Amino acid sequence: MSFKVNSIGRVRKVGEETKIIIEKEFRPALKELDQFSHVIVIWWISGKDNDTARANLQDLPPFPDAPMTGIFASRSPARPNPIGITVVQLNSIDHKEGVMSIKRIDAFDGTPILDLKGYFPPSDRVKNPQWPDFYKTLPEWYPDH
């Protein structure tokens, strides 16, 4: 089965500023998004869109004593479908220009954006999550940048 996916915009990083630029035809979809403090950004890991990366089914996480894991148990960018997802803090939106100013994103400048969803706590957060011990060296929260 195949799917058609279109980019709705791109990441733009200039110095310390990070923005998402939305294509003109998709700008009406930004209406009321600025009512959210955070947005889920779904993006294409374009730098890993090749046959070798898509064939990657296991990876070694970059943490001390981490075992080899299946790709679905990792955040590796090399995966069968190179789709990234990040929750970002939304600073502002210029609706006319389609410019979203955000705090940070773990995507490179020029990365294609596939979709945006307002972060909705009743369905997007979980109580008492569990994860492997080798990930527990990470902080509970990443500091705001």
pLDDT tier for residue 144 given thresholds of 50, 70 and 90 = low
pLDDT tier for residue 106 given thresholds of 50, 70 and 90 = very high
The mean pLDDT of the chain is 93
pLDDT at 44: 97
Q: What percent of the chain has pLDDT over 90?
A: 78
**What average pLDDT does the segment 18-29 reach?**
98
Closest CA to 102 of 3, 29, 9: 9
Q: Residue 145 pLDDT more than 60?
A: no
The CATH number of domain 9-45+82-121, selected from 2.60.40.150, 2.40.30.70, 3.30.950.10, 1.10.760.10: 2.40.30.70
The sign of the CA dihedral 85, 91, 94, 99 is negative
Q: Residue 93 burial by CB count (10 A; 0-12/13-18/19+): exposed, middle or buried?
A: buried
Range in 62-76, 104-118, 127-141 the model is least confident about = 127-141
Any idea which residue has 């929260």 for tokens?
A: 141
Ranges assigned E (strand) in the chain: 9-14, 17-22, 38-44, 58-59, 69-70, 83-94, 99-102, 112-118
Closest CA to 96 of 8, 32, 27, 35: 27
pLDDT at 25: 98
pLDDT at 6: 95
* Bridge partner list, 9: 22, 113
